[in-house]
């Protein structure tokens, strides 16, 4: 019988064989990798405001919110987050992953049905698994397949919940939300939307809650989830929906009930980020989309295939090893671009995931585009030479 250490070593070596082993790497180079789309995480104005409010606050929450972890701070900030998201109320969680687990495992039971987009985030997948609901995975953004699945299960008992991201984090593609809302209403289903990558980038102009809000669909959607760790530059997350949903989650959601409340510094950071967004968010988002368009246009000029216009630009390379080799060459030239491999993306679709930020200059965008092309060509040439 193998020892514990031998078993772990064998499993890691299997990852080596498929070029899927991961390791931690400190940040370096020009940031085209993080989700800090609007530059909030390092903005000195936001940093100073957060630090000023932290003086005199407890370091920790000291307990779950149903014990002594709750305070008026949560109530005030959750009201602000709800307004920002276009919903009646909000519930703060420590991370986006936990928010999705809290919502799905809290609402769904084994008697219910869930219809999930093929490319949904791991936290949504795990939340569905934890709920034990009957699940149907429909092809990415395929409304026809979803309609068929809803029709087949329409007369079955239990809740019906459709789940999608609004902006898919590894593809930069947008969900067909108008179609999904119509399908949900036609088949008496609910629609839940993960707005993680859209929060702060889309909204109704005055508020940046995401694509649902920007399309005027907030009142037709059961719930949205949002993160503070992307465009808002802070951390934490929240579930936005009705007061009835919040009350239900407080009573039935185990990830909420049995977790220590988020630390006050996190809640304050979220609140200050909302205020800061009201001052600079719209302008920075417009600049971001302009830079993203320029990046896409430059890549098209270089005959590098692109997908939907988005701040997230995937360059599909296929093989894991190739994605690693291309990324390494780009990193050596001073650009922080990472290779994304399965299981984060489907098998055979390893890629570079380029994240555009509002303050990337045109010169830097052009330099990165040229380097992507050069790195791909270099790796392809080297691989062909080895074959011969």
Tokens 């987009």, residue located: 117
In a domain, 262, yes or no: yes
**Total domains, the chain:** 2
**Rounded-to-integer distance, Cα 198 and Cα 180, Å:** 17
Look at residue 217 in the predicted model and tell me its pLDDT. 97
Q: What does the pLDDT look like over 334-380, one tens digit per residue?
A: 999 999 999 999 999 999 999 999 999 999 999 999 999 999 998 88
The pLDDT confidence band at residue 301, using thresholds 50, 70 and 90, is confident
Last residue within a domain, chosen from 252, 277, 302: 277
Residues 215, 322 share a domain? no
Angle at 40 between CA 77 and CA 316, to 5 degrees: 115
In a domain, 75, yes or no: yes
Percent of the chain with pLDDT over 90: 87
Look at residue 336 in the predicted model and tell me its pLDDT. 96
Q: Parallel, antiparallel, or unpaired for β 223-227 and 237-241?
A: antiparallel
In a domain, 5, yes or no: no
385 pLDDT more than 80: no
Domain that holds residue 372: 19-37+311-387
Lowest mean pLDDT among 1-5, 85-89, 112-116, 177-181: 1-5
Q: Of 215, 210, 244, which is closest to residue 227 (Cα–Cα)?
A: 210
Last residue within a domain, chosen from 257, 277, 297: 277
**Rounded-to-integer distance, Cα 237 and Cα 100, Å:** 9
Residues 222, 86 share a domain? yes
In a domain, 29, yes or no: yes
Residues 206, 96 share a domain? yes
CATH at 315 = 3.90.1150.10
Residues 317, 236 share a domain? no
According to DSSP, the residues that pair with 315 across neighbouring strands are 352
Residues 267, 206 share a domain? yes
- Summarize the confidence of residues 99-127 as an average pLDDT: 97
Residues 245, 154 share a domain? yes
Residues 227, 126 share a domain? yes
In a domain, 282, yes or no: no
């Amino acid at each position: 019988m193998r020892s514990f250490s031998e078993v772990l070593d064998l499993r890691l070596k299997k990852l080596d064989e498929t070029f899927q082993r991961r390791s931690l790497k400190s940040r370096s180079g020009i940031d085209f990798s993080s989700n800090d789309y609007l530059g909030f995480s390092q903005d000195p104005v936001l940093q100073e405001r957060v630090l000023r409010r932290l003086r005199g606050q407890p370091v920790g929450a000291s307990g779950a919110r149903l014990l002594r972890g709750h305070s008026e701070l949560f109530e005030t900030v959750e009201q602000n987050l709800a307004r920002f998201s276009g919903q009646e109320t909000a519930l703060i969680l420590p991370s986006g992953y936990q928010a999705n687990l809290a919502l799905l495992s809290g609402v769904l039971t084994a008697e219910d049905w869930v219809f999930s987009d093929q490319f949904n985030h791991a936290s949504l997948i795990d939340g569905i698994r934890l709920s034990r609901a009957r699940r149907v995975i429909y092809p990415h953004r395929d409304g026809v397949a979803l309609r068929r699945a809803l029709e087949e299960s329409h007369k079955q008992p239990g809740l019906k919940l459709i789940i999608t991201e609004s902006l898919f984090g590894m593809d930069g593609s947008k969900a067909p939300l108008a179609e999904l809302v119509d399908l949900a209403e036609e088949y008496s289903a609910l629609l839940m939307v993960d707005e993680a990558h859209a929060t702060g980038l889309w909204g109704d102009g005055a508020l940046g809650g995401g694509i649902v809000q920007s399309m005027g669909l907030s009142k037709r959607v059961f719930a949205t989830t949002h993160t503070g760790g992307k465009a808002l530059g802070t951390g934490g997350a929240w579930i936005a929906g009705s007061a009835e949903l919040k009350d239900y989650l407080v009573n039935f959601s185990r990830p909420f009930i049995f977790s220590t409340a988020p630390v006050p510094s996190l809640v304050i950071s979220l609140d200050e980020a909302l205020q800061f967004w009201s001052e600079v968010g719209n302008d920075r988002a417009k600049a971001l989309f302009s830079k993203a368009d320029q990046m896409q246009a430059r890549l098209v000029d270089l005959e590098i295939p692109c997908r939907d216009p988005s701040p997230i630009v995937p360059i599909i390379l296929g093989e894991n090893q190739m994605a690693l080799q291309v990324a390494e060459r780009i990193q050596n030239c001073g650009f922080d671009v990472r290779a994304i491999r399965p299981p984060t993306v489907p098998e055979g679709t390893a890629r570079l995931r380029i994240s555009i930020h509002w303050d990337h200059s045109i010169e830097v965008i052009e330099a990165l585009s040229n380097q992507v092309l050069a790195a791909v060509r270099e790796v392809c040439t080297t691989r062909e030479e080895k074959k011969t």
